[in-house]
């Protein structure tokens, strides 16, 4: 799963009549989360599942999921009147309301997503804030993209475009729960704020070029907030579902699409980016500008965290920006 850090500035993006949810959540430490084992709380889990699904449920077992894009580690195996089913238990107090609300909004769309049940923001059922969602059987799309499978590239572009084409009216019931809107201006302002605290001549030159060559602003589009292909599950070369909605919100569509190409430069040059641009009606000349913006924000991330952005180090990204400045 690919995560950029949350931006520091919160933008006012909803009407005054849509007040944000101010439920105070209990503090849950990583050790508390790690210590929770559904197999040791079978009665509580069974009662919670039965209430959430509104039907009698027999809790069979829970198993740890593999690490990856599914941040919550537990898969619940249950028996109910329709047979045996599996669910993913989400223990995520920080963004649970956003994810749960977004999955509810997506239920009426043509993009397959897990159905969510039983949001418990105060942890009354299991002692930690939680909800559960359908377990989707499938494999991450990323390995197929990296292998150059043509169907995977087509599926990725098609799914991103379908997400970004969703009508804004589906968001009205959940707009107050979404992550802050991330326009290109928003992203540049955040980088500028960082470099005002840590001046750098290269950053000044990059910001100056970005300001001088800015393309027309793109209307923000809705997505899960993390279009990394590990969050696109496939089965028999078809989309099984899009998961990981904890950072769902409105963002610059081209910036959001290109993040994976910054994390995996080997995906460039295959025509995937150009197919997306044609599908969305975006000018190919904008690609270079957005590439510089991606380098800049990835560089800021490495400087803030002291970590590499996938395989890209701060020194590598500095070099990429120096090369970008020489391009027309």
Q: Using an 8 Å Cβ cutoff, are 289 and 214 in contact?
A: yes
Using the predicted structure, report yes or no on whether residue 97 has a pLDDT greater than 90: no
Q: What is the pLDDT of residues 256-314, one digit of tens each?
A: 999 899 889 999 999 999 999 999 999 999 999 999 999 999 999 999 999 998 888 99
Whether residues 156 and 279 share a domain: the answer is yes
Mean pLDDT is lowest, of 5-14, 253-262, 312-321, for 5-14
Give the β-pairing of 179-182 and 249-251: parallel
In Å, how far from its chain's centre is CA 59? 30
Tell me the mean pLDDT in the region 1-5. 46
Alpha-carbon span 177 to 271, nearest angstrom: 36
Of the three residues 86, 104, 135, the one that is the final residue of a domain is 135
Structure tokens at 39: 């197999």
Is the same domain home to 171 and 252?
Answer: yes
**Is the pLDDT at 81 greater than 70, yes or no?**
yes
Domain range for 130: 30-135
pLDDT, mean of residues 46-72: 83
233 lies in the same domain as 90: no
Beta-bridge partners for 182: 251
pLDDT value at 98 more than 90:
no
> Could you give the percent of the chain with pLDDT greater than 90?
67
**Do 194 and 309 lie in a common domain?**
yes
pLDDT in tens, 164-203: 998 877 777 777 777 778 899 999 999 999 999 999 999 9
Is the Cβ–Cβ distance between 130 and 89 less than 8 Å?
A: yes
Q: Global pTM?
A: 0.84
Q: Tell me, yes or no, whether 68 and 111 share the same domain.
A: yes
- Residue 93 has a pLDDT of 53
5 part of a folded domain = no
Number of domains in the chain: 2
Whole-angstrom distance between the N-terminal and C-terminal Cα of the chain? 33
Spatial distance between the Cα atoms of 311 and 29, rounded to a whole number of angstroms: 29
Does residue 102 share a domain with residue 41? yes
Are residues 217 and 76 part of one domain? no
Report pLDDT for 31: 42
- When pLDDT is averaged across residues 98-115 and rounded to a whole number, the result is 92
| pLDDT mean over 224-253 | 93
């Amino acid at each position: 799963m690919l995560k950029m850090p949350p931006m520091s500035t919160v933008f006012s993006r909803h009407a005054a009549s849509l007040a944000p949810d101010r439920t105070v959540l209990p503090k849950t430490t990583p050790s508390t989360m790690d210590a929770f084992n559904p197999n040791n709380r079978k009665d509580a889990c069974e009662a919670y599942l039965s209430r959430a699904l509104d039907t009698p449920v027999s809790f069979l077992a829970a198993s740890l999921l593999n690490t990856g894009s599914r941040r919550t580690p537990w898969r619940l195996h249950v028996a109910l009147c329709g047979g045996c089913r599996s669910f993913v238990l989400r223990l995520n107090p920080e963004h649970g309301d956003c994810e749960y609300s977004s999955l509810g909004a997506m239920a009426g769309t043509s993009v397959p997503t897990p159905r969510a049940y039983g949001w418990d923001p105060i942890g009354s059922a299991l002692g930690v804030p939680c909800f559960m969602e359908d377990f989707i059987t499938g494999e991450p799309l990323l390995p197929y993209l990296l292998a150059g499978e043509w169907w995977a590239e087509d599926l990725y572009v098609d799914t991103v475009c379908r997400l970004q084409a969703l009508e804004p009216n589906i968001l009205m019931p959940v707009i107050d729960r979404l992550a802050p809107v991330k326009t290109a201006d928003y992203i540049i302002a955040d980088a500028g704020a960082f470099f005002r605290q840590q001046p750098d001549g290269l950053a000044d030159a990059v910001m100056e070029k970005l300001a001088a060559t800015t393309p027309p602003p793109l209307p923000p589009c809705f997505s899960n907030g993390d279009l990394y292909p590990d969050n696109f599950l496939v089965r028999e070369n078809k989309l099984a579902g899009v998961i990981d909605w904890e950072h769902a919100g409105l963002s610059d569509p081209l910036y959001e699409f290109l993040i994976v190409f910054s994390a995996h430069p080997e995906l460039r040059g295959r025509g995937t980016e150009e197919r997306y641009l044609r599908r969305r009606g975006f000018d190919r000349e904008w690609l270079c500008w957005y590439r510089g913006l991606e380098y800049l924000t990835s560089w800021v991330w490495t400087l803030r965290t002291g970590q590499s952005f996938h395989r890209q180090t701060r020194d590598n990204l500095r070099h990429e920006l120096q090369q970008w400045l020489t391009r027309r």
